[in-house]
């Protein structure tokens, strides 16, 4: 809960600063990592009981793939390996409490570590049949991008 409040405060400050600069600040770079094993997905449960894929903001001079690995470890305790870029999403904020973002989506796999909670929430594996109903709106779009990617990969292997 505290973490979500801090994110909103940072968004408000950033957006006010952006208004002072006449909207000339670029959107924030973000990453998401979709990890699927045995029809289950690695997710993080937030304080509002919604779940998200591991991910977050890129740091200064950080490559998106590095950010994906760091965020995965920070939020889940697991060491991940990123695979292909599944796609990207853009969000143009219309609210003072949210920042405009560009989100790069990676497929990932677990290569080590131990599942553990973080300040952002509790990580766990969720079966695909339950996933969509538990995801927040932004992460439903991430799931759709991943499912399109997975379908394309299956079709390519069939040929």
Q: To which H or E segment does residue 14 belong?
A: helix 2-20
Whole-angstrom CA distances from 21 to 14, 15, 25, 36, 59 are 11, 10, 7, 42, 22
pLDDT (tens digit, 9 = 90+) per residue, 64-120? 999 999 999 999 999 999 999 999 999 988 888 888 899 999 999 999 999 999 998
Which are the contacts of 74, defined by CB distance < 8 A and separation ≥ 6?
56, 118, 120
Q: What is the mean pLDDT of the chain?
A: 91
- Residue written as tokens 């998200």? 52
Per-domain boundaries in the chain:
2-158
DSSP state of 118: B
Can you tell me whether residue 96 is helix, strand or coil? coil
**Is residue 57 scored above 90 in pLDDT?**
yes
Q: What percent of the chain has pLDDT over 90?
A: 65
Mean pLDDT calculated for residue range 50-61: 94
What pLDDT is attached to residue 48?
85
Which fold is adopted by the domain 2-158?
Nucleoside Triphosphate Pyrophosphohydrolase (3.90.79)
Comparing C-alpha atoms, which of 31, 122, 98 is closest to residue 70? 31
What pLDDT is attached to residue 11?
82
Mean pLDDT calculated for residue range 134-140: 91
> How far apart (Å, rounded) are the C-alpha atoms in residues 144 and 87?
10
What pLDDT is attached to residue 1?
65
Angle formed at CA 74 by CA 139 and CA 58, multiple of 5 degrees: 65
pLDDT (tens digit, 9 = 90+) per residue, 40-55? 999 999 988 899 999 9
């Amino acid at each position: 809960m505290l973490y979500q409040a801090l994110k909103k405060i940072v968004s408000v400050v950033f957006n006010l600063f952006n208004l002072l600069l006449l909207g000339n600040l670029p959107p924030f770079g973000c990453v998401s990592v979709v990890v699927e094993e045995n029809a289950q997905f690695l997710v993080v449960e937030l304080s509002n009981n919604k779940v998200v894929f591991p991910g977050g903001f890129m740091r200064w001079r950080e490559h998106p793939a590095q950010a994906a690995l760091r965020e995965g470890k920070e939020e889940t305790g697991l060491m991940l390996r990123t695979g292909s870029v599944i796609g990207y999403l853009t969000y143009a904020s219309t609210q003072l409490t949210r920042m405009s973002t560009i989100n790069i989506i990676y497929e990932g796999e677990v290569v080590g570590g131990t599942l553990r909670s973080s300040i952002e929430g509790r990580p766990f594996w969720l079966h695909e049949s339950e996933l969509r109903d538990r995801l927040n709106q932004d992460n439903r779009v991430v799931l759709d991008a991943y499912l399109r990617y997975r379908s394309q990969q299956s079709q390519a292997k069939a040929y």
